[in-house]
């Protein structure tokens, strides 16, 4: 089987004619193999995400429809969990997906390969409030339900504002806050201490174990 037929044999990955011609008759060096790997990886991520959304839509009421879907980062996912998930493809919901329909709000959690592993949903009248905190480096929204479920999600752009606008129209209470200067200074100092500590440990390791005496 030549390279062209081998690529086309991946039934779930669509290659345009231009892409097929690009590889046809060429030796697959490391660069092209890496390009193929990225193509397959993206296809897997997209397939997992689409499958998860399709499963959520199966729960929809007959007259229910999606108004907005956005991605964020789960605020309380720890560094250790992320590393573990990266190494073992574990079920750590580091990605948060907010889906707003014309009837309710879904919060779904997905792992590193975009498999949805946990879903919670609320009718609009079941949401106590949504709090928005604006920081210089990110935005955070916290969804609090009337049964005290809490979902805290980070965003690094303003796409989430569409969600807040929809929820406002549906009568959900939105609380807006800006990070105070004191909290900002404390956060910068803590990060500085953390970086300095790890930097010192790293330098000590280099001089102790890497650089020969």
Q: Please report the beta strands in the chain, taking only residues with DSSP state E, as ranges in sequence order.
A: 66-74, 95-101, 104-110, 116-123, 127-134, 139-145, 150-155, 174-178
Based on the domain organization, do 76 and 28 belong to the same domain? no
| Average pLDDT of the chain, as a whole number | 75
Q: How many domains does the chain have?
A: 3
Burial 105-129 (b: 16+ CB within 10 A, else e): bbbbbbbbebbbeebebbebeebbe
Q: What is the CATH number of the domain that holds 77?
A: 2.30.29.30
Domain that holds residue 46: 1-58
**Residues 159, 91: one domain?**
yes
Q: Are strands 127-134 and 174-178 parallel, antiparallel or unpaired?
A: parallel
The pLDDT tens digits of the residues spanning 42-87 come to 777 787 788 888 888 898 999 999 999 998 888 765 444 444 444 4
- Do residues 85 and 111 lie in contact, with contact meaning Cβ atoms separated by under 8 Å? yes
Find which of 26-30, 83-87, 110-114, 179-183 is predicted with most confidence, using mean pLDDT. Answer: 110-114
d(CA 130, CA 143) in angstroms, rounded, equals 5
Does 97 share its domain with 156? yes
Say yes or no: 113 and 187 in one domain: no
Per the CB < 8 A criterion, the answer to whether 102 and 50 are in contact is no
pTM over 0.85: no
Q: Are 112 and 41 in contact (CB under 8 A)?
A: no
């Amino acid at each position: 089987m030549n390279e062209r037929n081998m690529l086309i044999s991946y039934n779930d990955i669509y290659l345009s004619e231009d892409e097929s011609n690009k590889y046809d008759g060429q030796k697959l060096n490391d660069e092209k193999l890496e390009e193929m790997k990225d193509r397959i990886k993206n296809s897997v991520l997209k397939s997992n995400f689409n499958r998860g959304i399709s499963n959520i839509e199966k729960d929809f009421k007959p007259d229910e429809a999606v108004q907005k879907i956005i991605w964020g980062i789960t605020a309380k996912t720890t560094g250790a969990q992320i590393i573990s998930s990266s190494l073992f493809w574990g079920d750590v919901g580091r990605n948060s997906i907010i889906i707003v329909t014309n009837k309710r709000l879904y919060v779904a959690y997905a792992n590193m390969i975009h498999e949805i592993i946990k879903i919670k949903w609320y009718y609009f009248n079941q949401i106590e409030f949504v709090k928005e905190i604006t920081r210089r480096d990110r935005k955070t929204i916290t969804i609090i339900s009337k049964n005290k479920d809490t979902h805290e999600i980070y965003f690094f752009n303003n796409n989430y504002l569409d969600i807040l606008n929809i929820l406002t129209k549906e009568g959900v209470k939105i609380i807006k806050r800006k990070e105070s200067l004191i909290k900002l200074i404390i956060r910068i100092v803590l990060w500085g201490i953390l970086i300095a500590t790890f930097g010192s440990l790293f330098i000590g390791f280099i001089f102790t174990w890497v650089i020969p005496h």
